[in-house]
Structure 1
Amino acid sequence: MTQGPVRLDVAVSYALPRKGLPAANSFRKWVAAALKGRIREADLAIRIVGTKEGRSLNRHYRDRDYATNVLSFPADLPEGLPKGVKLPLLGDLVICAPVVVREAREQKKPLNDHYAHLTVHGTLHLLGWDHEDEREAECMEQLEREILASLGIADPYLEE
């Protein structure tokens, strides 16, 4: 666990009108909570997109022809930073607003809480966490619960 203040640079861009979307400061707060005690420096970008762009990115990078809620692009991928470049670049998150709105409605969750959850979830992916098998999923979900609880957000995995 790292101690002391985190130097965090989170760039948030909106590919949609911002009405009804969380402010950039909210995304920064959620990322900071996910990184607290785990990393000392981080630069990352978050892009809030519509269904068309979300679907296109998911199809191109994951071979899945639908818009998904959050995509994570870690900077440490083989095609990441050029050799010798030393930056605290963590990666990029793409969050598809219409999917988040639909899921929050279907799951009867507050919209901002769902955005917070997906931001934390995506940030953990950038740190290398995954949910490919049941054990990994349980560990990642527990970590998400703890981070969200620190923000005053209810367990996103509770069934109503």
Structure 2
Amino acid sequence: MLIDVMIEEARWRTLDLDALATRAAEATLAHLGLNSADFEISLLACNDARIAALNEDFRGKPQPTNVLSWPSVERGADRAGDMPAPPRPGDDRELGDIAIAYGTCAAEAEAGEKPLADHTAHLIVHAVLHLLGYDHVRDPDATLMEACEVAILGKLGIADPY
């Protein structure tokens, strides 16, 4: 099983989040030449209050955010703009954990006039890339990460979110 989804916020059930998250994560791994059968991810589908508490605990920011990710291993590239080292099947089976907040995601989708399912898929692709060592702190890394997101979302039939 690639994704273990735990739904705390019932409104997530309207999206068939298990299937949506699996499809997004599999597309992300396939884009990078990785076999999804070799890896596991945990996904917490929560509300804004829960993600705000997690955001404060782990990032010192006491407000809700759309998605958070905790990689099991830091895989980021040393040089800005370089590809992160891929996980090794067998050694790095557990890629990490993701939390996604319904209220913030729904508000962002509405404000951007995007289907909630498409925005959620984008955020899961984004979070899985974080688990794989991609980041957007340095400009060259952000360029690389956004290009990966756009390519993956295109394969899923989702328009460029940028």
TM category (shorter chain) comes to: 0.7 to 0.9
Once the two structures are superposed, the pairs formed by residues 10-89 of structure 1 within 5 Å of their partners are 10-17=3-10, 18-36=12-30, 37-40=32-35, 41-76=38-73, 86=91, 88-89=93-94
Which of 90, 95, 100 matches 1:90?
Answer: 95
Q: Which has the higher contact order (CA 8 A, sep 6+)?
A: 2
Q: Map of 1:116-135 to 2, 5 A cutoff?
A: 116-135=121-140
User: Aligned partners of 2:16, 2:71: CA distance in 1, in Å?
Assistant: 23
The question of 1:105 aligning with 2:110 is answered: yes
Residues 11-43 of structure 1, C-alpha deviations (whole Å, 9 max, x = no match): 011001144333301110110001114323111
- Tell me the distance in 2 between the aligned counterparts of 1:124 and 1:38: 13
* Contact 1:22–1:112, Cα closer than 8 Å, also in 2: no
Task: Report the Cα distance in structure 1 between the residues aligned to 2:92 and 2:133, rounded to whole angstroms.
Answer: 17
**Cα distance in 1 between the residues matched to 2:21 and 2:13:** 15
Q: Mind listing any 5+ residue stretches in structure 2 that lack a counterpart?
A: 75-89
SS of match in other structure, 2:14: coil
Query: Compared with structure 1, are the counterparts of its residues 146 and 86 closer, same or farther at alpha carbon in structure 2 (3 Å cutoff)?
Result: closer
1:63–1:12 CA distance, 2 compared to 1 (3 A): same
Q: Deviations for 1:20-72, whole angstroms, at most 9, x for unmatched residues?
A: 33330111011000111432311111110011110000000000111110100
Please tell me the root mean square deviation across aligned C-alpha atoms, in Å: 1.6
Deviations 1:96-121 (A, max 9, x none): 11100000011111111000000000
CA distance in 1, matches of 2:67, 2:5: 14
Q: Which runs of 4+ in 1 moved over 4 A?
A: none
- 3-state DSSP class of the match of 1:135? helix
Supply the AA of the counterpart residue of 1:54.
I
User: How far is the alpha carbon of 1:86 from its aligned partner?
Assistant: 4.4
C-alpha distance after superposition, 1:112-142 (max 9, x if no partner): 1000000000000000000001111111101
Query: Aligned equivalents of 2:42 and 2:150: distance in 1?
Result: 23
